[in-house]
Amino acid sequence: MKNISRYLNVAFLLLVGVLSINAQKPVLKFNADKKFKIVQFTDVHWIYNDARSEVAGERMNEILDAEKPDLVIYTGDIIFAKPAKEAMDKALEPVVSRNIPFALTWGNHDDEQGMTRQELYEYVKDLPTNLTSTVEGITGVTNYILPVKSNDGKKDATVLYVFDSNSYSTLKHVTDGYGWIALDQINWYVKSSQAYAAQNGGKPLPSLAFFHIPIPEYHEAARDENTFFVGTRKEIPCSPKINTGLGATMLQAGDVMGVFVGHDHVNDYVANWKGIMLCYGRYTGGSTVYHDIPQGNGARIIELTEGERAFKTWERIAGGKIINEVNYPADLRKND
């Protein structure tokens, strides 16, 4: 009976012809009202057959029913114990059961549960609405791009960059601390950003970035007493001790409006860093790990508008309550 619900679902899709070897993945595009909504789940920390994880499931189901997103992105630490496959199935069940397009990137704990990052990727990659991909030849596994097309489907209107922020330091002279986004990953981003700008008449295409471990600029932004800041900060960002320059590179490229991470469970703030909004997701998990974020678990929501270099973001928590709404860049101008 192990994994029977997963296999039955896949078998049904095969029967009706929705899933095939060359299955057509969903195409992301703005809706007729020129809106596109993303739900960010982060740090689900699912433990299979553990009642504490059910709180995460309840919240994800509640939020998906309320928000009806066009895309869900899981920004790492999705599972927190063996068996990895069963835990992953349960953590993804809310989106899979609703046929919502989704994507994910790994955190520092996902590959500690008996499966490597590559093995986990191979396990989930063929789920029907999963848009997670990989770029061969660069550091990490979950590096890829999700273009969002215009509502008429004729052009790329927005770009979502997903990075694998890796796990822990791999340098012998840096004996502790978390992983970082490597130079080859940054070079991949630069080339991609330039290509999208070229097809947009030389103008940077409005973009967002998603990964798990916050870059050091999160700490820099939060310490600035004059910066725009909304949300909760109950711990110092657990960033890598190496700054590889991703923030500065995005600043120079001019395309990324906002960065969205997880990792630090009791931070959910957004802060302005030189015109880029650095955002934490809302801790989504249950009590399987430290979780004392005020008002409990939830998710971050991001809404884009086609043709605008702007986005709106808020958090939805238990009972449907909405908190910490921010409009970028309009709210930054109020702080000038």
> What is the pLDDT, as a whole number, of residue 204?
98
| Percent with pLDDT over 70 in the chain | 93
Does a structural domain hold residue 4? no
Does a structural domain hold residue 81? yes
Does a structural domain hold residue 24? no
How do residues 179-196 score in pLDDT, each as one tens digit?
999 999 999 999 999 999
Q: SS3 string of the chain?
A: CCCHHHHHHHHHHHHHCCCCCCCCCCCCECCCCCEEEEEEEECCCECCCCHHHHHHHHHHHHHHHHHCCCEEEEECCCECCCCHHHHHHHHHHHHHCCCCCEEEECCCCHHHCCCCHHHHHHHHCCCCCECCCCCCCCCCCCCEEEEEECCCCCCEEEEEEECCCCCECCCCCCCCCECCCCHHHHHHHHHHHHHHHHHCCCCCCCEEEECCCCCCHHHHHHHCCCCCEECCECCCCCCCCCCCCHHHHHHHHCCEEEEEECCCCCECCEEEECCEEEEECCECCCCCCCCCCCCCCEEEEEEEECCCCCEEEEEEEHHHCEEEEEEECHHHHHCC
> What is the pLDDT, as a whole number, of residue 5?
45
9 pLDDT more than 80: no
How do residues 22-39 score in pLDDT, each as one tens digit?
457 999 999 999 999 999
Does a structural domain hold residue 164? yes
> What is the pLDDT, as a whole number, of residue 336?
58
What is the mean predicted confidence (pLDDT) over 155-162?
Answer: 98
> What is the pLDDT, as a whole number, of residue 175?
81
How do residues 52-88 score in pLDDT, each as one tens digit?
999 999 999 999 999 999 999 999 999 999 999 999 9
Does a structural domain hold residue 246? yes
> What is the pLDDT, as a whole number, of residue 10?
40
Q: Using CB atoms within 10 A of its CB, is residue 305 exposed (0-12), middle (13-18) or buried (19+)?
A: middle
Domain housing 221: 29-334
Report the number of distinct structural domains present in the chain. Answer: 1
| Percent with pLDDT over 90 in the chain | 89
Q: How confident is the model at residue 335 (pLDDT cuts 50, 70, 90)?
A: low
> What is the pLDDT, as a whole number, of residue 24?
77
Does a structural domain hold residue 22? no
What is the mean predicted confidence (pLDDT) over 230-258?
Answer: 97
Residue 119 sits in a domain whose CATH number is: 3.60.21.10
> What is the pLDDT, as a whole number, of residue 6?
46
Does a structural domain hold residue 241? yes
Answer whether 146's CB lies under 8 Å from 71's CB: yes
13 pLDDT more than 80: no
Does a structural domain hold residue 200? yes
> What is the pLDDT, as a whole number, of residue 333?
82
> What is the pLDDT, as a whole number, of residue 334?
74
7 pLDDT more than 50: no
Q: pTM here?
A: 0.93
Average pLDDT, the chain: 93
Q: How confident is the model at residue 21 (pLDDT cuts 50, 70, 90)?
A: very low
